[in-house]
Amino acid sequence: MKKYFDSVTRGICMKKMITLALCLALFSTCIPGCGNTGGGAGQDAATLGTDTDSIKTGESSAGTVSSDEDVTTLSFWYINTDGMESYMPDGFVERFQAACPQYKLEITAVPGSAADFETKFNSAKMSSTLPDLCYLTLTSFASLGTRGEFLSLNDQVSTWDEKEDFLDASLDMGKIGGEYTGIGVAPAPVMLAYRTDMFEAAGISPENPPANWEELEECALKLTIKDDGGNVVQAGLDIPSIDYYLNVSQPFMLMNGATVVDEANAVPMLDEPEVIETLEYLYNLYSQGITLPHDWQKRETIPFMNGIGAMSFISVDNFNQLLVDHPELEGKVRMAPPVSNKTSAAFCGYRLLAATAGTEQAEGVWDLIQFFVSSDEMARRIDYGVIPVRTSIQDYYVETVPDIGQTILDTVAVGKGAFVVPWVSMLYKYYGPAYESVMQGMATPAAAMAEAQQQILAEIGQ
């Protein structure tokens, strides 16, 4: 009997021990989720640009700043798009560390689209893992910079002896509140591209692309081809149905002498007559059926990029990518000089360098910026088609890109990118649907722009 009770007791103890072990095992699965994963900038550097070279980072933990006795770590976020202006030449990290041995550089490739970049930036901010320096688009710079996310470089740039070698636009683009906050280092212009074979088929000389609005309309009508059912099979000129970031409508407005946004006073001017006239012109073209509906932000939807458009305002990136995707178009596509109406203008995005407001390595960041924009480094990027902002090496750029180099530089000279105002997201939010309502024929340009103007003013509290 005693043996029986002993075995039962041992069984009960065993049961308790197994139960306890299972409970501990279950609780232990919760522990990794509560741990600090450290760092936050996330991805390792990836292949950038059209070259297959990759970038070597220092350590694996990006997004944190630390220093030991002799070496200070600088973290650098670099937008990773497939555009050439995002290209980072091979060996950049080694060259910088050789030139500035007191620093160790960690580069992280981050998403290139404005929305994705800002999401990542905000996540890093909330986890206190922001980098020291960012290489980002003008759209993101405007959105984040006007919220005070970047350090003022006014003292450094104002006394910089190399400042005179830079395009005025590249430095002015980076001003927030009148202070230099970012440095524009790579323009991303949008230019009129056209198919020479389609021009010839329509009886238009490819040597004389349209230079003003009248010629543009004339060419667009001649180049449009429709089938028996009236469906457009070849678009004469790509006018987007959706132009959320004003990539196409803004340059037309500027060509017409419009202000669009008074950046100095931070007020919208969507209801000015020049803006309305511009939309009337664009709607007139659109309603004549010279285009196919598309979203300019989605490259794959642009008719010109799919070989069914004769003329289109596209970025130099897209132009280069078209030639990569369709090598048979070599020699059949060109980019035209800036079109004008009352004045010459173009959309010209930028990639900028900006130091995050919380960086503890302001001196190191400035050293990195100076290295990045040095003549040598800029010349290396020219070899891969990156447009320089230093006037001293523009001749080298024209030699490297003889066909369209000068045309691109002329466009950059008259180019204007995203507006740098605190409420720039409101501009896109209300202008986008207003533009779409005009193109859909649901509202007149005057009514649509008046409503958008009022909505923006109401939202920004004016």
Partner 1 sequence: MKKKNSHNDLVGYAMIAPYYLFLFLFILVPVGVNLFMSFTDYNLNTMNFVGISNYLRLFRDPILKKSVVNTLLYTVITLASTISCGLLVAILITQTGRLIPVFRTFVFLPYVVSMASASMIWLWIYEPGYGLLNAILKVFNLPMQSWIYDVKLALICVSVVSFWKLLGYNMVMYTSGLLGIPQHLYEAAKIDGANALHRFRYITLPMLRPTTFFLLVTGFINNFNVFEQVKILTNGGPVNSTTTVMHQIYNRGFVDYQFGYASAITVLMMIVVSIITAVNFKFGSKGHDLDLS
**What is the spatial distance between Cα 12 and Cα 20, in angstroms, rounded to a whole number?**
12
Nearer to partner 1 by C-beta: 318 or 394?
318
Which residue in the set 67, 301, 400, 444 belongs to the binding site for partner 1 (CB under 8 A)?
301
Gyration radius from the chain CA atoms: 27
SS3 31: helix
Nearer to partner 1 by C-beta: 123 or 154?
123
Count of residues that bind partner 1 according to CB under 8 A: 42
119 binds partner 1 per the rule CB under 8 A: yes
195 binds partner 1 per the rule CB under 8 A: no
Which residue in the set 241, 375, 392, 406 belongs to the binding site for partner 1 (CB under 8 A)?
241
Nearer to partner 1 by C-beta: 294 or 416?
294
211 binds partner 1 per the rule CB under 8 A: no
**DSSP conformation letters of 134-192:** EEEEHHHHHHHHTTT-B---HHHHHT-TTGGGB-HHHHHTTEETTEE-EEEEEEEEEEE
Which residue in the set 42, 206, 257, 432 belongs to the binding site for partner 1 (CB under 8 A)?
432
**What is the spatial distance between Cα 401 and Cα 254, in angstroms, rounded to a whole number?**
27
Nearer to partner 1 by C-beta: 209 or 433?
433
Nearer to partner 1 by C-beta: 30 or 324?
30
118 binds partner 1 per the rule CB under 8 A: yes
Cβ neighbours for 335, distance < 8 A, ≥ 6 positions apart: 191, 192, 193, 194, 316, 319, 404, 407, 408
- Beta strands (DSSP E) in 202-254 are 225-226, 232-234
How far apart are CB 113 and partner 1 at their closest, in Å? 12
Nearer to partner 1 by C-beta: 188 or 235?
235
Which residue in the set 47, 429, 450, 454 belongs to the binding site for partner 1 (CB under 8 A)?
429
115 binds partner 1 per the rule CB under 8 A: yes
Strands 346-355 and 72-80: unpaired
- Beta strands (DSSP E) in 284-336 are 311-315, 333-335
Burial class (CB in 10 A: 0-12, 13-18, 19+), 257: middle
* AA identity, residue 330: E
Which residue in the set 104, 120, 195, 294 belongs to the binding site for partner 1 (CB under 8 A)?
294
SS3 340: strand
Binding residues (CB under 8 A) for partner 1: these are: 19, 22-23, 26-27, 29-30, 115, 118-119, 122, 125-126, 147-148, 227-231, 235, 241-242, 244, 292-295, 298, 301, 303, 306, 308, 425-426, 429, 432-433, 436-437, 440, 442
